[in-house]
C-alpha cells in the first residue's frame, strides 16, 4: 500500500504506474508514468480488466488515467492513487475508499451514491454534475476543490475539510457537518438546508457561520432565507 515509485525516465517527476507480476497481481516493480510507458493502450486494457475482475483493490497507482462509462459499484479501493485521473459518466453505488488519493482529479457527470470514504484526499479536484448523495465521507480532504452543480445531500461529512474550496450551485442538504471545515471557501448558491451548520466551522476564529450568511435554525442557503 502506498508504494509510489518515480517514473523510470530519470528527468521525469511523475509517479510510476502500477506493474503486474506473472500471476496478474499488483507488484512493486519500477515502471514508467502514463506519459512515457511504451504501450499505453495495453496498460489501460490491463488496468480496466484488473478492476473489472477484482472487488477488492489494494495499492493501485493509475495516475492520469481516464475512466469513462465504467461501473465501479461495490468495489473496494485501499491505498490507491488516482492523482490527475479523469472520471466521466461514471454511475456507481456502494464504493469503498480507504486512504486513497484523488488529488487534482476531474469528475464529470458522475454518480457515487451511497459511497463510503475514510481518510481519502480529493484535494484540488474538480467536480461537475457529480453526486455523492447518501454517502459516508469521514475525515476526508476536499481542500481547494471546485464543485459545480454537484451534491453531497444526505451524507455524513464528519470532520471532512473544504478549506479554500470553490462551491457553485452545490448542495449540502441534510448533512452531518460536525467538525467539518469550510475556512476561506467561496460559495455561490450553496444550500445547507437541514444540516447542522452550527457544528461546522466557517472561519478560523471559530464562527459556525460567517456574518454574511443568513440563517434560520440550523439551515442556511447563502444569500437567501430558508
Q: What is the DSSP letter of 200?
A: S
Q: Residue 50: helix, strand or coil by DSSP?
A: helix
pTM (predicted TM-score): 0.88
Q: Cα(132)–Cα(114) distance, rounded to whole angstroms?
A: 7
SS3 202: coil
Which residue in 110, 68, 107 sits closest to 93, CA to CA? 110
CATH code, residues 112-226: 2.160.20.80
C-alpha cell read off for 222: 447563502
Burial string for 107-118 (b: 16+ CB within 10 Å, else e) reads: bbebbbbbbbbe
Q: Is residue 173 within 8 Å of 192, Cβ to Cβ?
A: yes
- pLDDT tens across 159-175, in order? 999 999 999 999 999 99
Environment class of 157 (CB within 10 Å of its CB; exposed 0-12, middle 13-18, buried 19+): buried
What's the confidence (pLDDT) of residue 218?
38
Q: How many CB atoms lie within 10 A of CB 27?
A: 14
> In whole angstroms, what is the distance from residue 20 CA to residue 147 CA?
35
In this predicted model, what pLDDT tens digit does every residue of 50-80 receive, in sequence order? 999 999 999 999 999 999 999 999 999 999 9
Please give the helix or strand (H or E) that residue 27 lies within, else none. strand 26-27
Q: Residues 19-29: pLDDT tens digits?
A: 888 888 888 78
| Residue bearing the bigger pLDDT, 226 or 53 | 53
Domain boundaries, the chain: 112-226
- Give the contacts of 160 (CB within 8 A, at least 6 positions apart): 137, 138, 139, 140, 141, 142, 180, 181
Strands 146-148 and 166-168: parallel
Quick one: cell of 1? 500500500
Instruction: Find all residues with CB under 8 Å of 85, minimum gap 6, and list them.
Output: 62, 63, 64, 65, 66, 67, 102, 105, 106
Average pLDDT of the chain to the nearest whole number: 89
More confident residue, 31 or 129: 129
d(CA 187, CA 175): 17
Please provide residue 50's backbone torsions phi and psi, each rounded to the nearest 5 degrees. Answer: -60, -45
Amino acid at each position: 500500500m502506498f508504494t509510489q515509485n518515480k517514473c523510470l525516465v530519470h528527468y521525469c517527476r511523475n509517479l510510476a504506474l502500477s506493474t503486474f507480476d506473472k500471476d496478474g497481481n499488483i507488484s512493486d516493480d519500477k515502471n514508467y508514468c502514463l506519459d512515457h510507458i511504451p504501450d499505453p493502450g495495453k496498460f489501460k486494457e490491463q488496468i480496466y480488466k484488473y478492476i473489472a475482475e477484482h472487488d477488492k483493490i489494494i495499492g493501485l497507482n493509475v495516475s492520469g488515467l481516464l475512466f469513462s462509462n465504467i461501473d465501479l459499484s461495490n468495489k473496494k479501493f485501499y491505498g490507491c492513487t488516482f492523482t490527475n485521473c479523469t472520471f466521466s459518466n461514471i454511475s456507481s453505488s456502494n464504493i469503498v475508499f480507504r486512504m486513497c488519493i484523488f488529488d487534482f482529479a476531474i469528475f464529470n457527470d458522475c454518480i457515487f451514491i451511497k459511497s463510503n470514504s475514510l481518510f481519502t484526499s480529493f484535494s484540488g479536484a474538480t467536480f461537475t454534475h457529480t453526486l455523492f448523495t447518501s454517502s459516508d465521507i469521514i475525515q476526508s480532504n476536499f481542500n481547494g476543490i471546485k464543485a459545480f452543480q454537484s451534491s453531497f445531500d444526505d451524507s455524513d461529512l464528519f470532520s471532512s475539510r473544504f478549506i479554500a474550496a470553490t462551491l457553485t450551485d452545490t448542495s449540502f442538504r441534510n448533512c452531518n457537518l460536525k467538525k467539518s471545515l469550510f475556512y476561506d471557501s467561496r460559495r455561490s448558491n450553496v444550500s445547507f438546508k437541514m444540516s447542522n451548520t452550527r457544528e461546522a466551522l466557517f472561519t478560523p476564529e471559530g464562527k459556525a457561520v460567517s456574518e454574511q450568511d443568513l440563517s434560520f435554525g440550523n439551515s442556511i442557503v447563502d444569500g437567501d432565507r430558508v
